[in-house]
Chain A
Amino acid sequence: MASELTSSASEAPSPASSGPVVVFDQVSIHFDVKPVLQDVSFAVEHGETRIILGPAGGGKSVLMKLANGLIKPDGGRIRIFGQDITDMPERELFKLRAHIGMVFQESALFDSLSVEDNVAYRLHEEHIPEAEAHIRVVEALKFVELEQAIQKFPSELSGGMRRRVSIARAIISRPDLILYDSPTGGLDPITSTTIIELVMKQRDVGHTTSLLITHRLQDAFTLAMNRFNPDTGKMEPIPNKGVDEKTKFLVLNDGRVVFDGTTLELVTSTDPWLRDYLS
């Protein structure tokens, strides 16, 4: 099953396979008079998982919505798959979003639709035949180990199950970029680990580029220091206390980038604020 998704993901047409997938160049945004992001610049390479850390209210979710074109910046430029989306009309953005999956903070499942209809939403919009859509929904739900909940409604699911359905909805179109907005927020540690394992599975099996916001440092370091083993179907520590080279960090504080680099650079940073935040 996982290998099916892998091959599908790699075969999906990428709008621009060369160069960074996500580029933020001096991006700023204000809400009323309050600056939320100020001169934020970073780039995410193909196949990279970028973990975004920072205190609450630091502009992480806003950054994620900017990356999907859901809101427009007041200054700076944003490029996704090499295309400048800063002033892109909504109609053009809809086409680009066919290559982007997004997992929302509170899942944002359509509460009047069943799990199957939620996961198949994009397929229905693309008028994919019902039989094919059903097969792909089952495939995506198997990936998140939730195929038994296909007929249920979101109100009948637990918080963790909703996040998993949300992940299934995001990956069903085999996107080239996945945006995870606090997928473990508000969940208990065991359920959080299950969600992180799914993110890792998508990273190591699907090799999908992703941005992930988390408030839990342990989730971030679990992702950085573990890998998914397709043979056992479980995650395992990278031997010799190694770290995943494709997993990098971006730390925001008060709307500014305070760190942009690898796991090793993060843990060896001498920045007093960063050391205090990580401790």
Chain B
Amino acid sequence: MSFVSPEDFAKQKIAAIQEYSILSWQAIAGLFSRPRYWSEIYSQMDSIGVGSMPIIVLTGFFTGCVLALQSATSLQEFGSVSLTGNLVALSMVKELGPVLTGLMVSGRNASGMASEIGSMRVTEQIDAMRALGTDPVRKLVTPRLYATIFMLFFLTILSDAFGIAGGALVSIAIMGLNPSSYFNNSYRALQYGDVVQGLVKPLFSAFIIATVGCYFGMTTKGGTQGVGRSTTQAVVVSSVFIIIVDLLVTRGMIGIFGR
């Protein structure tokens, strides 16, 4: 194993940040001038959005179930089991729905983007695309970016809804709570700021998933081993970024809405 000097290490990291920033900017700008690849955007929406629905529904539903079970145990000590709906709804909409959806989609799609684009890179398909007069950022990165942003927003809503439904199933079927009380409490617990917070987070997560996944794909080197390395790095980096950005957005939203 070879060691690099701290100076070279710092230079490499700064160069990588620069490269990532340029790629992200080009991907954003790609939609505002011709040529635009609408069919690619729709196909990615189908792959990322519709394809991720089963895991999002299952994750959201069972997280809601577990949340209801765990919180009911604690709330019972204070005689407030009827507030389970409040807790599940607030936790799902503000935090767990957006973060879990982001992490699940990152695991499924950031890896997919890195491996697909990475394989194209090592087999010279990206160079062939450029040689045939196509900008690979416009054709591959821009559609993935906008498709992920659009679909993750709705996937998060779906996850929130199924999480609350999961909580309802446990609260009603196991703990014997009144259905209308559960849903009424859930509804009353949520305020405008909570919903905005929950729906702003997926926009940031989606940006991270698509740009990080595509960045590692576009910079893949070293054959099939390199593709595997890029895929792993894409999932790890995007997952960590999602959680860090979640903290920053939460702090920002508390600053704006006061809760």
Interface residues of A (CB under 8 A from B): 65, 68, 70, 90-91, 94-95, 97-98, 100, 102, 104-106, 108-111, 121-122, 125, 169
Chain A residues with CB below 8 A from B74, complex form: none
B33 to chain A, nearest CB (A): 10
Taking residues whose C-beta sits less than 8 angstroms from the other chain, chain B's interface range is 10 to 19
In the assembled complex, the Cα of A105 lies from the Cα of B124 at a distance in Å of 9
6 A-B contact pairs sorted by A residue (CB < 8 Å): A97-B130, A97-B132, A108-B128, A109-B128, A110-B129, A169-B132
- Chain B residues with Cβ below 8 Å from A106 are 123-124
CB pair B123–A122 under 8 Å, yes or no, is no
Measured CA separation A123–B142 after assembly (Å): 21
Could you tell me the distance between the alpha carbons of A4 and B135 in the complex, rounded to whole angstroms? 31
Report the minimal beta-carbon distance from A91 to chain B, rounded to whole angstroms.
Answer: 8
Instruction: Find the A residue at minimum CB distance from B35.
Output: A125
Cβ of B21 within 8 Å of any chain A Cβ, yes or no, is no
Q: Is B133 an interface residue (CB 8 A)?
A: yes
**How many pairs of residues, A versus B, come closer than 8 Å at their CB atoms?**
50
Query: C-beta contact mask, B103-123 vs A, less than 8 Å → 1, else 0?
Result: 000000000000000001001
Interface residues of B in 116-168 (CB under 8 A from A): 120, 123-125, 127-135
- Nearest 6 A/B pairs, CB to CB: A108-B128, A108-B124, A102-B131, A94-B133, A97-B133, A104-B124
> Is there contact, CB below 8 Å, between A121 and B132?
yes
Considering the complex, give the chain B residue whose CB is closest to the CB of A61.
B124
Q: Are B127 and A70 in contact (CB under 8 A)?
A: yes
Q: Are B127 and A108 in contact (CB under 8 A)?
A: yes
By beta carbon, the residue of chain A nearest B139 is A125
List B contacts of A105 (CB < 8 A): 124
**Once bound together, how far apart are the Cα atoms of A108 and B119, in whole Å?**
11
Closest to A69 in B: B130
In the complex formed, the residue of A with least CB distance to B119 is A111
Report A-chain residues with C-beta under 8 Å of the C-beta of B131.
Answer: 68, 70, 97, 100, 102, 104
Contact, CB under 8 Å: B128 / A102: yes
Nearest Cβ in chain A — how far from B25, in angstroms? 14
Q: Which residues of B contact A108 (CB under 8 A)?
A: 123-125, 127-128
> Chain B contacts of A109 at CB under 8 A?
125, 128
Residues of A within 8 A of B127 (CB): 65, 70, 104, 108
Q: Which residues of A contact B132 (CB under 8 A)?
A: 97, 121-122, 125, 169
- Residues of chain B with a CB closer than 8 A to A169's CB: 132
Taken together as a complex, chains A and B put the C-alpha atoms of A122 and B125 apart, in Å, by: 14
CA–CA, A98 to B132, complex, Å? 7
Residues of A within 8 A of B123 (CB): 106, 108, 111
CA distance A108 to B130 in the complex (A): 12
In the assembly, what is the distance between CA of A106 and CA of B128, in Å? 11
Chain A residues with Cβ below 8 Å from B125 are 108-111
What's the nearest-Cβ distance from chain A to residue B30, in Å? 12
A114 and B161 CA atoms in complex are apart in Å by 41
What A residues does B135 contact at CB under 8 A? Answer: 90-91, 94
Cβ-neighbour of A125 out of B120, B124, B128, B134 (below 8 A): B134
B122 to chain A: closest residue by CB = A106
Q: Which residue of B lies closest to A71 (CB)?
A: B127
